[in-house]
Amino acid sequence: MPRPNLEMTRRLVVWAPMLIVLAVLGCSGDRGELVFGGGTGAVAEDIEELDEPGAVLGVCDALTRSPWVTLNNEIITNTGERSVTISAVTAVNPVGMELVEAALLEIPTPGQDGTTTLQPANGSGRPPRDAEESQAWDARRPAVGETIEPGEEWVLATVFKLDDAVASIDRVRIAYADDGGRSREVLGPIELHVEREC
């Protein structure tokens, strides 16, 4: 019976951990990554990890008395190298309001002054409100199940139904997975507070 090669065994024991580390490092950049507004969204594996407040949007609905309010949540971008598929869009800590629709809309063409007005407007009622918004809204795609390729940008519109005179959410959360099987969540940049009597 041949004797084991002790020198070869020693080499394998020394090199095996290094090869594992190199494999992990080599794969770490090869993933899909969703970010809000050029990186203003907070990435967290769990909502408890989020310790920074979002930008607060206050909506006074005393005039229209609409039971609906919409957020465009800014632009989401896949900054990674893999395509990602959205598995869920949810409201974080909703009080007095319910998320009823989440859709992806194309980013509008900049105007003559070079600025881009996202549709639908933050704090507006249920779309569409006018012809310009109607065109964008009619071309929307349901966010859940949609695949976003590397470098693609979209507007994430979320529509909420108000149940109480005072309502709020802490953030909008997107759960997604890239085509390599890696799952993650990203939290939007906006906290929403709505009052009907103000």
Where residue 93 falls among pLDDT bands split at 50, 70, 90? very high
Element housing 23 (H / E): helix 6-28
Whether 9 is covered by a domain: the verdict is no
Higher pLDDT, 197 or 138: 138
pLDDT tens digit sequence for 147-173: 999 999 999 999 999 888 888 898 899
The pLDDT of residue 20 is 37
64 or 123, which is more confident? 123
The per-residue pLDDT for range 61-85, each reduced to its tens digit, is 544 567 888 888 778 999 999 999 9
* Whole-prediction pTM: 0.74
Predicted confidence at residue 12, as pLDDT, reads 41
User: Which residues, including other chains, have CB under 8 Å from residue 136's CB and lie 6 or more apart?
Assistant: 105, 106, 108, 119, 120, 128
Q: List the domain range (segments joined by +) for residue 184.
A: 32-195
| pLDDT for 23 | 38
- Tokens 């310790």 label which residue? 51
- How many angstroms separate the Cα of 165 from the Cα of each of 94, 126, 140? 14, 17, 29
191 assigned to some structural domain: yes
Confidence of residue 24 (pLDDT cuts 50, 70, 90): very low
Residue 15 domain-assigned? no
Listing DSSP states for 38-92 in one string gives TTTSEE-SSGGG--SPPEEEEEE-TTT--SEEEE---EEEE-SSS-EEEEEEEEE
Do the domain assignments include residue 124?
yes
Convert the pLDDT of each residue in 97-111 to its tens digit.
Answer: 999 999 999 887 766
Query: Considering the domain boundaries, does residue 18 fall inside one?
Result: no
Q: Is residue 175 part of a domain?
A: yes
Residue 27 contacts residue 182 (beta carbons within 8 Å): no
Q: Is residue 175 within 8 Å of residue 40, measured between CB atoms?
A: no
Reply yes or no on whether the pLDDT at 175 is more than 80: yes
Q: Is residue 36 part of a domain?
A: yes
Say what the pLDDT of residue 82 is. Answer: 94
3-state DSSP assignment of residue 27: helix
Amino acid at residue number 75? I
Q: How many domains does the chain have?
A: 1
Q: Would 72 be classed as within a structural domain? A: yes
Structure tokens at 101: 């629709």
